[in-house]
């Protein structure tokens, strides 16, 4: 006999049980939890949104990152938000702190060093967020990265986690590059490379070629790195990139032409980076003609600014 077929007394006796079940369900999925989860979803989406004004992005970033970080602590299983937070801190450190330190170096070495130390801390923050979520999704990942003989060769990453692995590896590499006076941090380079390789094996086209550029940077940085392999990664980035080829051309200039002393190739690659950024901007304006002029996203703006700055320093570099 079903619950609905019971006598009049039956429903009265069953009502407290039904209410208890409803209370239990609401406790498991409380209004507060639903609000926090909804906010996490929205913040993750905002983290992936396009922005073409670097100054506006810089002014808004601190509030967005702190709010997102706070929500992530309450929803640590939210991989999309973790990826947005890790990516946000990594991009902020690169675009607004490390790059500023590089430009300031010749005028105020002490201030530049303080900025580099801050950027390294931001990179560390980004890496910790990304690695914590990766470890939740694939328990034992961190230990395996640290002890490759125990099974790193057979370790595989779920393709859905490629973005988290990319930002963790990128932030790790950024921190290492700014920590030359800390051998314990520099010693982590093989782990960062292993993590990037896991992302590469899972989704080599990730990030519109950004992962391939990261692989090229690691190949160039590692002891015994191959110039041929570096070029192969950059060629892959150029093949798959639809919106950000400027990053690959910029990397070619800094990783291939500059170390070889090839001034003409260096200038040509930087000019290609500028042309690619302008083209992306023009395509964005065609796609959204009513938008505010300058439709390229922040990544292209930052890359374009760096290319211009490096072109202005050619005589100092060659």
- Give 173-189 pLDDT, tens digit per residue: 999 999 999 999 999 99
What's 245's domain CATH number?
A: 1.25.40.920
Is there a domain that residue 14 lies in?
A: no
- Give 90-110 pLDDT, tens digit per residue: 999 999 999 999 999 989 999
Position 159 scores a pLDDT of 93
Per-residue pLDDT, averaged over 242-254, amounts to 91
Same domain, 236 and 317: yes
Domain interval for residue 266: 204-318
Asked whether residue 6 carries a pLDDT value surpassing 50, the answer given is no
Is there a domain that residue 199 lies in?
A: no
| DSSP structure string for 75-98 | -TT-HHHHHHHHHHHHHHIIIIII
Position 32 scores a pLDDT of 61
Which range, of 97-101, 153-157, 297-301, averages the lowest pLDDT? 297-301
Asked whether residue 10 carries a pLDDT value surpassing 50, the answer given is no
Position 2 scores a pLDDT of 36
Contacts with 33 (C-beta within 8 Å, 6 or more apart), sequence order: none
Same domain, 215 and 297: yes
User: Can you give the pTM of this predicted structure?
Assistant: 0.83
- Give 31-57 pLDDT, tens digit per residue: 666 666 776 777 777 654 455 566 777
Of the residues 128, 161, 194, the one at which a domain ends? 161
Q: How many domains does the chain have?
A: 2
Average pLDDT, the chain: 84
Is there a domain that residue 61 lies in?
A: yes
Same domain, 212 and 316: yes
Is there a domain that residue 67 lies in?
A: yes
Is there a domain that residue 15 lies in?
A: no
Q: Could you give phi then psi for residue 296, rounded to 5 degrees?
A: -65, 150
Same domain, 127 and 210: no
Is there a domain that residue 197 lies in?
A: no
Is there a domain that residue 220 lies in?
A: yes
Is there a domain that residue 2 lies in?
A: no
């Amino acid at each position: 006999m079903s619950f609905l077929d019971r006598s009049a007394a039956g429903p009265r006796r069953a009502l407290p049980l039904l209410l208890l079940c409803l209370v239990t369900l609401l406790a498991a999925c409380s209004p507060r939890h639903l609000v926090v989860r909804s906010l996490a979803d929205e913040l993750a989406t905002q983290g992936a949104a396009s922005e073409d004004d670097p100054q506006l992005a810089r002014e808004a970033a601190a509030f967005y990152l702190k709010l997102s970080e706070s929500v992530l602590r309450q929803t640590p299983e939210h991989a999309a938000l973790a990826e947005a937070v890790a990516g946000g801190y990594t991009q902020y450190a690169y675009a607004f702190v490390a790059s500023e330190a590089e430009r300031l170096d010749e005028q105020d070495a002490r201030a530049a060093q303080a900025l580099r130390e801050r950027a390294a801390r931001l990179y560390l923050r980004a890496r910790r967020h990304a690695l914590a979520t990766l470890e939740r999704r694939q328990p034992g990942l961190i230990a395996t990265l640290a002890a490759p003989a125990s099974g790193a060769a057979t370790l595989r990453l779920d393709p859905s986690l490629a973005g988290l692995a990319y930002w963790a590896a990128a932030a790790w590499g950024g921190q290492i590059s700014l920590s030359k006076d800390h051998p314990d941090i520099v010693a982590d380079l093989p782990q960062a490379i292993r993590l990037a390789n896991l992302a590469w094996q899972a989704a080599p086209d990730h990030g519109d070629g950004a992962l391939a550029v990261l692989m090229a940077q690691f190949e160039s940085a590692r002891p015994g790195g191959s110039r041929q392999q570096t070029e192969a990664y950059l060629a892959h980035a150029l093949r798959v990139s639809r919106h950000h080829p400027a990053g690959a051309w910029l990397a070619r200039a800094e990783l291939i032409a500059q170390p070889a002393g090839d001034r003409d190739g260096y200038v040509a690659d930087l000019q290609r980076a500028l042309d690619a950024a302008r083209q992306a901007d023009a395509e964005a304006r065609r796609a959204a003609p009513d938008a505010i002029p300058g439709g390229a996203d922040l990544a292209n703006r930052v890359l374009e600014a760096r290319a211009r700055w490096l072109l202005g320093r050619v005589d100092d570099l060659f």
